[in-house]
């Protein structure tokens, strides 16, 4: 493990040909190198030079897939072509490439930006039109395939990606040991999220590790069943979260053994 790109990125090789690329704001991207192609999962804020780091790791063509359309996962898309996202989250992606929106976002980071960073380039960035993907889509990298599993909840078009070869589930923000945020404007009802994580759990025999969008280390798949049981109890009225002030406003917070969830009472 070591710091890259003037300290902006922390690089960790999880398995042979599988890298976790974390930035200093605790957002994770993942690069998977196959025999004929590589796949980059999410692009972070786009404040560091992710493209150069990726090129230093693989010489193969790179597809980029987004687990969902939030800015901390898509704002680096302008550094790449060959983008993939669900139909449901394409609008979210495009919203974060509106100049006025990007000007507001960049002000949050004015004190920590890399020395080489160009605000003008970032604010005025444009992206290529993404290809739209859905349940079952396969990213064929030659010697391994990653399967799209739809997981609406955190956002309408959230997905997970299953790498059966290495028995890894890349979960984005849908499954975390950190709080799963279901109290956002983009979040769907808990009943929808419950159906989604039950669907993901149908593939539980195919993964032994979860790599999420924000956790510092791999996550035990036990969180899937914990979330299923916990969300079921919330919906059934058996438990109720405690009111807490979060960075995204007041929310009900329910904590389990290895994970937790933030939600609103009116979105069960």
- DSSP-derived secondary structure for 1-24: -EEETTTTEEEEEEETTEEEEEET
Question: Would you place residue 2 in the very low, low, confident or very high pLDDT band (cuts 50, 70, 90)?
Answer: very low
pLDDT recorded at residue 4: 52
Question: 166 pLDDT exceeds 90?
Answer: yes
Provide mean pLDDT across the span 60-76.
Answer: 98
- The mean-pLDDT minimum among 39-53, 104-118, 165-179 falls in 104-118
Other CB atoms within 10 A of residue 32 CB: 27
Question: 5 pLDDT exceeds 90?
Answer: no
For 227-251, what is each residue's pLDDT tens digit? Answer: 999 999 999 999 999 999 988 889 9
Question: 110 pLDDT exceeds 90?
Answer: no
Closest by CA position to 171, among listed 189, 198, 150: 150
Pairwise CA distance, residues 46 & 96, whole Å: 12
Question: Would you place residue 125 in the very low, low, confident or very high pLDDT band (cuts 50, 70, 90)?
Answer: very high
Question: Would you place residue 46 in the very low, low, confident or very high pLDDT band (cuts 50, 70, 90)?
Answer: very high
Share above pLDDT 90 across residues of the chain, in percent, rounded to a whole number? 91
Cα 98 to Cα 71, 86, 166, 168, distances in angstroms: 11, 19, 38, 34
Mean pLDDT of the chain: 95
Gyration radius (Cα) of the chain, Å: 18
pLDDT recorded at residue 152: 98
For 194-230, what is each residue's pLDDT tens digit? Answer: 999 999 999 999 999 999 999 999 999 999 999 999 9
Which of the following CATH numbers is that of domain 2-267: 3.40.50.1970, 3.60.15.10, 3.40.50.300, 3.40.640.10?
Answer: 3.60.15.10
**Where does residue 206 rank: exposed (0-12), middle (13-18), buried (19+ CB within 10 A)?**
middle
Q: Which ranges of the chain would DSSP assign to H, the alpha helix?
A: 50-57, 71-74, 87-95, 99-106, 119-123, 190-201, 222-235
Pairwise CA distance, residues 247 & 37, whole Å: 38
Pairwise CA distance, residues 261 & 106, whole Å: 28
C-beta separation of 157 from 88 below 8 A: yes
**Full-model pTM:** 0.95
């Amino acid at each position: 493990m070591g710091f890259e790109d003037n300290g902006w990125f922390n690089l960790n090789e999880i398995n042979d040909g599988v890298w976790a690329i974390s930035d200093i704001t605790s957002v994770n991207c993942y690069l998977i190198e196959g025999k004929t192609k590589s796949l980059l999962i999410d692009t972070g804020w786009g404040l560091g030079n992710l493209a150069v780091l990726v090129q230093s790791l693989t010489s193969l063509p790179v597809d980029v897939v987004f687990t969902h359309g939030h800015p901390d996962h898509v704002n680096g898309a302008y550094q790449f072509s060959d983008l993939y996202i669900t139909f449901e989250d394409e609008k979210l992606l495009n919203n974060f490439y509106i100049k006025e929106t990007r000007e507001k976002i960049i002000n949050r980071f004015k004190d920590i930006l890399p020395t080489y960073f160009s605000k003008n380039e970032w604010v005025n960035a444009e992206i290529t039109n993404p290809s739209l993907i859905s349940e079952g889509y396969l990213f064929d990298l030659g010697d391994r395939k990653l399967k799209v599993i739809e997981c609406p909840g955190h956002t309408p078009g959230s997905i997970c990606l299953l790498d059966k070869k290495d028995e890894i589930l890349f979960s984005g923000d849908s499954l975390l040991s950190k709080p799963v945020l279901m109290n956002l404007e983009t979040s769907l009802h808990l009943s929808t999220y419950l159906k989604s994580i039950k669907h993901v759990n149908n593939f539980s025999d195919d993964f032994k590790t979860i790599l999420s969008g924000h956790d510092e280390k791999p996550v035990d798949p036990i969180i899937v069943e914990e979330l299923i049981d916990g969300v079921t109890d919330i919906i059934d009225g058996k438990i109720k979260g405690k009111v807490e002030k979060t960075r995204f406003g007041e929310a009900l917070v329910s904590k389990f053994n290895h994970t937790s969830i933030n939600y609103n009472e009116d979105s069960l």
